[in-house]
């Protein structure tokens, strides 16, 4: 089962030969590679290999521009490919290594994330306090569930993104406009919101992927003292 969208993998072109390396991790590819693929092909590739964001050289370059030489880490790094391309520290709580979570994915017939060897096992809130980065990068992380805001969804193992903003200068999120539409952080207007054609993901809904940037000093009452 790939998603709520019905896809027959047997009748879908396999992109793995070009896009997956010898260690089973996604490669950073030129956007032109994915421009010549379909939503279904990208969905099959991503689900088969436990990938959410399909990194492109163009995405990496834009993130480098935003980082602008400042100290940075990635949270929710998963395979660590994006952090590796950026030359920054990769961190993740590695929740999908939990036996119960792995069993859940097995029941869905989906492989869990294959964590990279350079990805440090540490919760996002602890990572920002340990490394004190000026910039935090996150791609497709799930926000923390709050029972007071049930309709926003989220995950009990998710990231308290407001806490992350409190503990850095700049928080950069890469996601999908439909999948991440209920993110509580949207309460605060981002400094940057871009929907370029060169961001690709596992989303099958046809809505744009995006980059958003929040600066702590622009959100009144958020910045830690």
52 within some domain: no
Q: Model's pTM, two decimal places?
A: 0.90
- Check which CATH number belongs to the domain holding 193 and give it: 3.40.50
Q: Which helix (H) or strand (E) holds 126?
A: helix 124-131
30 within some domain: no
Instruction: Report the domain count for the chain.
Output: 1
Task: Give me the DSSP letters along 49-112.
Answer: TT-SEE-BHHHHHHHHHHHTT--EEEES-TT-HHHHHHT-EEEE--GGGSHHHHHHHHHTT---
178 within some domain: yes
**What is the pLDDT confidence band of residue 3, given thresholds at 50, 70 and 90?**
very low
Tell me how far the alpha carbon of residue 6 is from its chain's centroid.
23
**What is the pLDDT confidence band of residue 95, given thresholds at 50, 70 and 90?**
confident
Residue 59's pLDDT is 98
36 within some domain: no
Residues 159-213 pLDDT 10s: 999 999 999 999 999 999 999 999 999 999 999 999 999 999 999 999 999 999 9
19 within some domain: no
200 within some domain: yes
163 within some domain: yes
Which residue range is the domain that position 145 belongs to? 60-218
45 within some domain: no
DSSP 179: T
């Amino acid at each position: 089962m790939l998603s709520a969208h019905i896809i027959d993998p047997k009748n879908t072109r396999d992109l793995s030969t070009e896009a997956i390396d010898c260690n089973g991790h996604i490669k950073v590819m030129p956007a032109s590679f994915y421009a010549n693929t379909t939503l279904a092909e990208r969905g099959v590739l991503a689900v088969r290999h436990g990938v959410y964001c399909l990194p492109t050289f163009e995405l990496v370059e834009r993130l480098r521009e935003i980082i602008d030489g400042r100290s940075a880490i990635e949270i929710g790094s998963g395979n660590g490919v994006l952090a590796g391309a950026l030359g920054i520290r990769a961190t993740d709580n590695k929740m999908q290594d939990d036996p119960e979570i792995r069993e859940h994915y097995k029941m869905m017939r989906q492989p869990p994330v294959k964590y990279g060897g350079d990805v440090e096992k540490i919760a996002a809130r602890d990572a920002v306090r340990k490394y004190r980065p000026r910039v935090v990068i996150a791609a497709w992380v799930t926000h923390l569930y709050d029972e007071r805001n049930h309709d926003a969804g989220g995950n009990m193992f998710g990231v308290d993104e407001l806490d992350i903003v409190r503990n850095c200068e700049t928080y950069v999120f890469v996601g999908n406009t439909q999948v991440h539409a209920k993110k509580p952080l949207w309460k605060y207007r981002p400094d940057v919101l871009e929907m370029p054609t060169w961001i690709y993901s596992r989303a099958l809904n046809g809505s744009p992927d995006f980059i958003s940037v929040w600066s702590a000093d622009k959100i009144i009452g958020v910045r830690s003292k």
